[in-house]
Amino acid sequence: MAIGSALSVGLVGLKAFTIQVQAFVSPGLPYFSIIGLPDMSLSEARERVKSACQASGFKWPETRVTVNLSPASMPKRGSSHDLAIAASVLSASGAIAADCLADTLVLGEVNLDGSVLPINGLLPIMLHAREQGIAKIIVPQDNLDEA
């Protein structure tokens, strides 16, 4: 049993808040759940993330995977958390060293083939990161100019 963690950022209008994405890989029949007030597009991340990881050559855990998005009291929307979910699961399964993701925002939507799509709202996200003292941010290639 292992826990992997990554950071993402949610937006309510232009107000940003940090989301801790934790993945717990535990014994049991294969199952993937996302908890912590995800909307429908975020709930669909289960299929996008699993397919993207496998298409990118990573072995998906053949066991129970639970992803928690904290704070649970804040609603989370959109697909910009896909890459953070993938990173936390891969960290929990040992494919990524846990210390690689410490104090790092991970942002991006993933396609089924593993490609990473740009996100909206990067400017308020980056301003929030600066206010919180977060210096490392992983962004999609297509967001590089905006970043």
pLDDT in tens, 100-118: 999 999 999 999 999 999 9
Give the lowest-confidence range in 26-35, 37-46, 135-144. 37-46
Please tell me the predicted confidence (pLDDT) of residue 124.
95
What phi and psi, each to the nearest 5 degrees, are found at residue 107?
Answer: -130, 140
87 Cβ contact list (under 8 Å, min separation 6):
4, 6, 21, 96, 101, 106
pLDDT above 80 (res 5): yes
Give the 3-state secondary structure of residue 144. Answer: coil
Measured CA to CA, the distance from residue 7 to residue 120 in angstroms comes to 17
pLDDT in tens, 71-85: 999 999 999 999 999
pLDDT in tens, 44-78: 999 999 999 999 999 999 999 999 999 999 999 99
pLDDT above 90 (res 126): yes
Helix then strand then coil, % of the chain, to nearest 5: 30, 30, 40
Q: Is the dihedral of CA 5, 110, 68, 122 positive or negative?
A: positive
pLDDT above 70 (res 1): no
Supply the DSSP symbol for 38. Answer: B
User: Across all residues in the chain, what is the average pLDDT?
Assistant: 95
pLDDT above 90 (res 138): yes
Please tell me the predicted confidence (pLDDT) of residue 27.
93
Neighbours of 128 (CB within 10 A): 19
Domains of the chain: 2-143 (3.30.230.10)
